Amino acid sequence: MAKIFKDIPKHWKWVTLDTVSVTSSGGTPDRKNTNYFRGNIPWVKSGELNYKIISKTEEYITQEAVNYSSAKVFPKGSLLIALYGNTVGRMAFLGVDAATNQAVASIKSFCINAKYLYYYLMSSKEELLNKREGSAQPNISQKVLSSFPFPLAPIEEQNRIVDKIEELFSLIDKSNSEITKSKERLNILIKKSVFNIFNKIKTRKPLSKLAEITMGQSPSSTSFNTIGKGTPFFQGKKEFTKMYPIPEKYTTEPIRLAQKNNILMSVRAPVGSVNIANNDCAIGRGLCAIEFQGFYKYLFYYLNNIKSDLEQLGTGSTFNSISKNIIENIQIPYLETEEQFFLIDKLETKIETYEDMINEINLQIKNNEILKLKILNDAFHGKLSTQLNSDTSIDNLLNNIKQEKEEYLLNQQEIIKNRPKIKRMEKEKLSIIQVLEKNKKPISPKQLWEDSMYSDSIEKFYSELKKVQDRVIEERTEKGSLISLK
């Protein structure tokens, strides 16, 4: 076990997580019963795990929802960890008693410092993720979690290690806070530099006098592809970056075109974002193309500067949008083209200086995060603390853990035994194949799992999915995997 991870002090001992803890996952009440989600029991989803303390949740459920589902209420102080999805491995502590969905496991530990466990799992996240199972949606099963190696140190030493980690992390966080404020000040200086340059120009002209404006129109969706065939296509601001968009989609049947160096403006919610077309491209209804008579970067910087004003010009009750007429009447500070080049050259020189400073700050923040990882690595090599003669021996600690865990499990058995018998609403029990036959269209692995008879066990689901893999097709899409019958 020690070979897999790291050397530890001789007075420590490698054990597994199930030696010092009990893991359990939650569940999702029936979404069709909206009353289940009108209660006062916090219900945590994996996306809410934020490495902090959770006191409020996006959704709340009723006791009835708990009674009629596999959801469980875990006590305040429980350590939670995400088992699968984009948040796999993410953790948080409960600041209140709360239930969770099935993508979240609760780790109840015994006679150890829960923060010691938390920081250890944080330091070993990469090793833990390497043990994920399943092809469609790799996950950490409770079996993997329970058998994961854990370096058990004397409880007093655990406390000293946690105190030292938090002392050093506090200093790093303070440093990050100060340099982040410096970064914010630099960003403000960039905005002020742009504002001041254009604010000094008194002559204004409507954009219609200075440019040609083309409103976008979307081609048929059947013409789209992601293999680079045809013309780059932008529907809205999704592919926008700081200055130039990066195409994700192409069309073989373009309708409205933007020329290279045209300004692309978002005209539907959100309104006002701008980029520069770095190649000829097709534009959909979410954009317009502005062919400026002067220096294109001059217009880009100005429109970017007044983005918040452009947002206010939008209309519409369902979603905000801006019309061609409004765009044509935007007042543009007027300079001759030669002066525009000079002005932007001066502006970009100043911005470049500020951005170099911001890049240095970003590097410092990155180095601080690397330093945190080194601190954690040192902590679980036993380099942040030394053994004291008064520390509890590992053998005594293990006996205490065993006794407390046994008492806990016996108590849980009594609670379950004495719980009022509730006839649970039987969910239609469908196999994986039956779920796919019922849906007819490709569905996500998550939906397949939740709709199947294996919704209470992600491990069992993937085991059964593997058995029928020759009868299903897994399709990779932009939004993730989809599964259907062959």
**Bridge partners (DSSP) listed for residue 205:** 332
246, HSE (Cβ side, Cα atoms, 13 Å): 2
Indicate if 219 and 127 belong to the same structural domain: no
Q: How many domains does the chain have?
A: 3
Higher-pLDDT residue of 84 and 420 is 84
pLDDT digits (tens, 9 = 90+) for 80-109: 999 987 888 999 999 999 999 989 999 999
Indicate if 128 and 212 belong to the same structural domain: no
Q: In what order do the strands lie in the sheet with 231-234?
A: 224-225, 249-251, 231-234, 281-283, 257-258
**What amino acid occupies position 371?**
L
Indicate if 231 and 118 belong to the same structural domain: no
Strand spans (E) along 207-340: 211-215, 224-225, 231-234, 249-251, 257-258, 263-266, 274-276, 281-283, 287-292, 331-333
* Distances in whole angstroms, Cα of residue 354 to Cα of each of 177, 276, 346: 19, 22, 13
List Cβ<8 Å contacts ≥24 apart for 325-328: 327/207, 327/213, 327/265, 327/267, 327/288, 327/290, 328/206, 328/207, 328/208, 328/213
* Distances in whole angstroms, Cα of residue 351 to Cα of each of 186, 270, 275, 301, 371: 9, 26, 17, 11, 30
Strand pairing report for 59-61 and 79-82: unpaired
Query: Is pTM beyond 0.85 here?
Result: no
The pLDDT of 4-32, averaged and rounded, is 88
Q: What is the CATH number of the domain that holds 49?
A: 3.90.220.20
Indicate if 21 and 144 belong to the same structural domain: yes
Q: CA-CA distance, 83 to 92, in Å (whole number)?
A: 13
- 194: pLDDT strictly greater than 70: yes
Domain boundary among 153, 169, 194: 153
155-199 and 296-305 helices cross at what angle (nearest 10)? Answer: 120
pLDDT digits (tens, 9 = 90+) for 162-179: 999 999 999 999 999 999
Is 28 among the domain residues?
A: yes
| DSSP conformation letters of 8-33 | --TTSEEEEHHHHEEEEE-----TT-
Token pair 């440019």 is at which residue?
Answer: 211
CA dihedral sign of residues 139, 145, 147, 149: positive
- 426: pLDDT strictly greater than 70: no
Indicate if 243 and 146 belong to the same structural domain: no
Average pLDDT along the chain: 90
**What is the predicted pLDDT for the residue at 485?**
85
**What is the predicted pLDDT for the residue at 2?**
40
Is 233 among the domain residues?
A: yes
Is 287 among the domain residues?
A: yes
Residues of 16-40 as b/e, b for ≥16 C-beta within 10 angstroms? ebbbbbbbebbbbbeeeeeebeebe
Is 366 among the domain residues?
A: no
Indicate if 95 and 208 belong to the same structural domain: no
In the chain the first and final C-alpha atoms are separated, in Å, by 42
Q: Which of 79, 86, 155 is nearest to 121 (CA)?
A: 79
CB 68 within 8 A of CB 108: no
**What is the predicted pLDDT for the residue at 56?**
94
**What is the predicted pLDDT for the residue at 318?**
59
pLDDT digits (tens, 9 = 90+) for 308-363: 999 888 876 557 889 999 999 999 999 999 999 999 999 999 999 999 999 999 99
Domain boundary among 132, 153, 174: 153
Indicate if 149 and 217 belong to the same structural domain: no
| Percentage of residues in the chain having pLDDT higher than 90 | 70
Domain boundary among 334, 362, 394: 334
Is 306 among the domain residues?
A: yes
Token pair 């009723």 is at which residue?
Answer: 62
- 380: pLDDT strictly greater than 70: yes
**What is the predicted pLDDT for the residue at 331?**
97
**What is the predicted pLDDT for the residue at 386?**
87
The pLDDT of 231-253, averaged and rounded, is 96
Q: CA-CA distance, 280 to 291, in Å (whole number)?
A: 12
- Residues contacting residue 111 through CB under 8 Å, at least 6 positions apart: 20, 155, 397, 400, 401, 404
Indicate if 20 and 114 belong to the same structural domain: yes
Q: CA-CA distance, 119 to 379, in Å (whole number)?
A: 9
Confidence category of residue 123, pLDDT binned at 50, 70, 90: very high
Q: Which of 157, 161, 142 is nearest to 16 (CA)?
A: 142
Is 357 among the domain residues?
A: no
Is 400 among the domain residues?
A: no
The pLDDT of 112-126, averaged and rounded, is 95
CB 6 within 8 A of CB 45: no
**What is the predicted pLDDT for the residue at 440?**
75
Higher-pLDDT residue of 318 and 47 is 47
- 210: pLDDT strictly greater than 80: yes
**What is the predicted pLDDT for the residue at 316?**
66
Is 376 among the domain residues?
A: no
Indicate if 220 and 145 belong to the same structural domain: no
Indicate if 25 and 91 belong to the same structural domain: yes
**What is the predicted pLDDT for the residue at 432?**
85
Q: CA-CA distance, 400 to 205, in Å (whole number)?
A: 80
Indicate if 210 and 328 belong to the same structural domain: yes
Q: Domain limits at 224?
A: 204-334
- 396: pLDDT strictly greater than 50: yes
- Residues contacting residue 316 through CB under 8 Å, at least 6 positions apart: 269
CB 256 within 8 A of CB 264: no
Helix (H, G, I), strand (E, B), or coil: what is residue 43? strand
- 253: pLDDT strictly greater than 70: yes
